[in-house]
């Protein structure tokens, strides 16, 4: 029996759900589908990979009234890639609904052709904010009858500067339209926008386990100037189905990409600096499995869903925990297992500490004999460093200081300090043996 039956959706939709292999709803689908069906306003804080897209697509498609030749739902995405993905998911569902009409409107396409398509008033409109607003302002797309608007990846919308555009789109909707907002975080700017249109309502928070059993979290220590070589060693040691290497900026992505290419690694590239056609071509190559590894910025973690990714390497640790969560969320989906490898230097200790406090449990590892293998815990190394610092603090005042600073003073001072530390360690060792 299909567990989606309890949502009181049509038989056609149940067939559509079965055709894509769904038998049990995810947690976000469990909580969101009934609310959308009842016409309630919905704000969801959920991470990538939770099944949120179908939590709004299923009830939206099922609720379309084909007797009305009007646009009834608008689905906004922050990037062209994500809009295409949502459109693709919708088209699969619509195979069981031949009378439903949907259209994709994104930048980079012929605006005149989009205006012609918009004039047909598709029931479901999916696209990026700027293009949809342009179609509304041209008069070709009429949204006054739209009952639902989805704002997907809302925090990215804000980061990319789309909030004012979305505000303008929302102002063309009829009063009382249903807002369905999905975001990894709920920043203050988003809260102000939501209060304006739907008032104060409870946020549905979907917690994702920090350590899914299906993901192996590996922590590998490197020196600052050894990151590229360590990454090269990893990509030549590991053979993923698809592996994604994340860096914190497109400049860092380009540097690593160029290095790996120079070392003979056939690697893909994906970040916001690519031109639209380049990004589209790269996505096709990635999905056609032309690459084993892809070097990417966080745009790929949030705006691009790469099916089948088995490995993630964090070349840089992001400053925000949410970006780390979205990166590692690329792997370990469904019944598949995944590996998330994080490189860190001594300067990253505090970032690793923060991730551990948030619940991530890492395995301290390195490449040994051609495979990732356990090494001493970083905690032991950190304890040794702290003890060394404490010992130095205790002994530094015992070093004789010259009133006049002579050549070689610093070197001589350090030598005397090191001698005192050696004597203190020997003394401690003898006392420990006696005990």
The contacts of residue 387 (CB under 8 Å, 6+ apart) are: none
CB atoms within 10 A of CB 373: 11
- Domain assignment present for 47: yes
Q: Are 201 and 258 contained in the same domain?
A: no
- Specify the pairing of strand 363-368 against strand 371-374: antiparallel
Same domain, 53 and 187: yes
Q: What pLDDT, on the 0 to 100 scale, is given for residue 260?
A: 96
pLDDT score recorded for residue 188: 87
- Which residues in 21-55 are b (16+ Cβ under 10 Å) and which e? ebeebbbbbbbbbebbbeeebbbbbbbbbbbbbbb
Does residue 210 form part of some domain? no
pTM (global) more than 0.85: no
Is residue 315 a part of any domain in this protein? yes
Q: What are the φ/ψ torsions at residue 136 (nearest 5 degrees)? A: -65, -45
Half-sphere exposure of 151 (CA within 13 A, CB side): 30
Task: Let me know if residue 384 belongs to a domain.
Answer: no
Residues 168 and 257 placed together within one structural domain of the fold: no
Q: Which of 354, 379, 404 is the last residue of a domain?
A: 379
Count of the separate structural domains present in the chain: 3
- Is 290 a member of any domain? yes
| Of the residues 186, 205, 224, the one at which a domain ends | 205
Does residue 193 sit in the same domain as residue 232?
no
Q: In this structure, is residue 386 part of a structural domain? A: no
164 close to 143: Cβ distance less than 8 angstroms? no
Q: 154 and 12 in one domain?
A: yes
Residues 29 and 117 in one domain: yes
385 part of a folded domain: no
Residues 57 and 127 in one domain: yes
* CATH number for 79: 3.40.50.300
Partners of 341 in the beta sheet? 218, 313
289 & 258 share domain: yes
In this prediction, residue 185 carries a pLDDT of 81
Structure letter (DSSP) for residue 174: P
Which residue blocks in 264-408 are alpha helix, DSSP H?
276-287, 298-303, 321-328, 349-357, 378-395
Residue 104 within any structural domain of the chain:
yes
For residues 337 and 216, the answer to whether their CB atoms sit within 8 Å is yes
Same domain, 187 and 269: no
Q: What is the dihedral of CA 318, 217, 31, 6, to 10 degrees?
A: 150
Q: Are residues 259 and 362 in the same domain?
A: yes
What is the domain range of residue 49? 3-205
The per-residue pLDDT for 251 is 93
| Domain co-membership, 319 together with 293 | yes
Ranges of residues in the chain with a pLDDT under 70 are 1, 47-49, 208-213, 299-307, 334-335, 379-413, 417, 421, 424-435
Q: Are 77 and 44 in contact (CB under 8 A)?
A: no
Same domain assignment for residues 65 and 188 = yes
């Amino acid at each position: 029996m299909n567990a989606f039956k309890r949502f009181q959706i049509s038989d056609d939709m149940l067939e559509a759900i079965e055709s894509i292999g769904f038998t049990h709803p995810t947690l976000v689908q469990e909580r969101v589908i009934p609310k959308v069906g009842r016409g309630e306003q919905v704000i969801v804080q959920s991470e990538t990979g939770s099944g949120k897209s179908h939590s709004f697509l299923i009830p939206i498609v099922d609720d379309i009234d084909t007797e009305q030749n009007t646009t009834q739902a608008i689905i906004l995405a922050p990037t062209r890639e994500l809009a295409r993905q949502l459109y693709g998911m919708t088209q699969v569902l619509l195979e069981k609904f031949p009378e439903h009409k949907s259209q994709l409107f994104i930048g980079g396409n012929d605006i005149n052709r989009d205006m012609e398509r918009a004039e047909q008033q598709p029931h479901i409109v999916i696209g990026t904010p700027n293009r949809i607003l342009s179609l509304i302002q041209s008069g070709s797309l009429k949204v006054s009858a739209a009952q639902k608007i989805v704002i997907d990846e809302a925090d990215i919308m804000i980061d990319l500067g789309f909030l004012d555009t979305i505000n303008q789109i929302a102002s063309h909707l009829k009063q009382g339209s249903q807002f369905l907002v999905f975001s990894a975080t709920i920043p203050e700017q988003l809260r102000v926008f939501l209060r304006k249109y739907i008032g104060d309502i409870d946020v549905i928070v979907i917690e994702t386990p920090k350590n899914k059993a299906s993901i192996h979290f590996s922590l590998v220590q490197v020196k600052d100037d050894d990151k590229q070589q360590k990454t090269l060693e990893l990509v030549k040691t590991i053979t993923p189905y698809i592996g994604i290497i994340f860096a914190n900026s497109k400049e860092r992505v380009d540097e690593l990409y160029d290095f790996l290419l120079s070392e003979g690694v056939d690697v893909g590239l994906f970040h916001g600096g690519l031109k639209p056609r380049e990004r589209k071509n790269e996505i096709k190559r990635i999905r056609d499995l032309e690459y084993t590894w892809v070097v990417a910025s966080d745009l790929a973690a949030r705006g691009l869903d790469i099916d089948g990714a088995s490995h993630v390497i964090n070349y840089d640790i992001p400053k925000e925990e949410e970006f780390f969560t979205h990166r590692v969320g690329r792997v370990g989906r469904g019944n598949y297992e995944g590996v998330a490898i994080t490189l860190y230097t001594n300067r990253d200790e505090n970032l690793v500490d923060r991730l551990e406090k948030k619940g991530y449990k890492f395995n301290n590892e390195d490449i040994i004999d051609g495979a990732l293998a356990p090494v001493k815990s970083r905690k032991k190394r950190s304890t040794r460093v702290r003890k060394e610092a404490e010992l130095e603090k205790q002994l530094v005042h015992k070093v004789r200081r010259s009133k006049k600073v002579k050549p070689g003073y610093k070197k001589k001072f350090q030598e005397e300090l090191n001698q005192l530390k050696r004597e203190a360690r020997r003394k401690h060792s003898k006392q420990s043996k006696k005990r």
